């Protein structure tokens, strides 16, 4: 009975060795390169998504900046004073300027391409090492791993390094190398997605605020009527 209960206990608390113990130096290097390639691809996708979302944020804020004065000049009744509308327009103009500068200086697309190229180069190195391992097994000749270590070092240090969240996703996506189960795996999923989505909180909040304010102007909602209580005369 005790032995039977050990299995779910071990699964839930992930008490087994988490990382596969590899004694063969060639296979160990191969596994390391494969995880690094996954991390670089994850980092590339993360930066591409950040670029797309920043562009979306700038677009939405710019559309609001155009819509508000047009609606204000339409002559239709608005539940806010002109001072409140002017304040919001200034805020949106500054927000658009800030996000435009961020997009220009962050160089998301260039960095993402560099990381993607790094991942591709590591993949090519992995294929070369696998072919040489197969030939070595057939012929009995040893592999010069020092050459592969040097090439791997040069390729992996060319672009910027990946982040912790990229490595977490790579670990979770590689069950053949990392045996993480139960509660710990769930915690790692929550941690990785929390870290990943953290940078989207501020732009999402700004877009949501703008959309709700415009809906208030159209008298569809009354979300901010208590905060900006001035009524247009």
**pLDDT one-digit tens code per residue, 6-37:** 677 777 777 778 887 878 899 999 999 999 99
Matching residue, tokens 């912790």: 164
Instruction: Report the Cα 150 to chain-centroid distance in Å.
Output: 29
pLDDT band for position 233 (cuts 50, 70, 90): very low
What's the pLDDT score for residue 3? Answer: 59
Alpha carbon of 20 to those of 23, 123, 180: distances in Å? 10, 21, 11
pLDDT on residue 157 = 92
Instruction: Tokens for 210, please give them.
Output: 């703008």
Q: What is the DSSP letter of 80?
A: S
Nearest CA among 67, 84, 82 for reference residue 214 = 67
Task: Report CA 114 to chain centroid distance, whole Å.
Answer: 16
Report pLDDT digits (tens) over 141-188.
888 899 999 999 999 998 999 999 999 999 999 988 888 888 999 999
Does the predicted model carry a pTM greater than 0.75?
yes
Higher-confidence position of 3 and 42: 42
Neighbours of 120 (CB within 10 A): 15
Q: What's the confidence (pLDDT) of residue 5?
A: 61
Structure confidence at residue 2 as a pLDDT band (50, 70, 90): low
Q: How does pLDDT run across 35-87, given as a tens digit for each residue?
A: 999 999 999 999 999 999 999 999 999 999 999 999 988 888 888 888 889 99
């Amino acid at each position: 009975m005790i032995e039977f209960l050990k299995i779910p206990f071990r699964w839930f608390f992930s008490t087994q060795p988490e990382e596969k113990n590899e004694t063969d130096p060639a296979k160990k290097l191969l596994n390391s390169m494969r995880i690094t390639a996954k991390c670089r691809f994850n980092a590339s996708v993360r930066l591409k998504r950040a670029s797309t979302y920043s562009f979306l944020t700038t677009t939405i804020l710019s559309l609001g900046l155009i819509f508000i004065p047009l609606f204000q000049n339409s002559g239709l009744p608005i539940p806010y004073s002109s001072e409140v509308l002017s304040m919001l327009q200034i805020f949106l103009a500054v927000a658009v300027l800030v996000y435009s500068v961020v997009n220009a200086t962050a160089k998301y697309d260039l960095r993402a391409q560099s990381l993607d190229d790094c991942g591709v180069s590591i993949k090519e190195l992995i294929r070369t090492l696998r072919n040489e391992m197969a030939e070595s097994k057939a012929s009995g000749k040893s592999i010069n791993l020092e050459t592969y270590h040097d090439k791997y070092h040069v390729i992996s240090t060319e672009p910027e390094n990946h982040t912790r969240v990229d490595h977490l996703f790579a670990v979770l996506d590689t069950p053949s190398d990392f045996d993480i189960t139960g509660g710990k795996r769930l915690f790692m999923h929550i941690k990785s997605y929390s870290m990943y989505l953290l940078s989207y909180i501020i732009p999402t909040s700004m877009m949501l605020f703008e959309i709700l304010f415009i809906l208030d102007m159209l008298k569809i909602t009354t979300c901010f009527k208590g905060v900006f209580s001035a009524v247009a005369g």
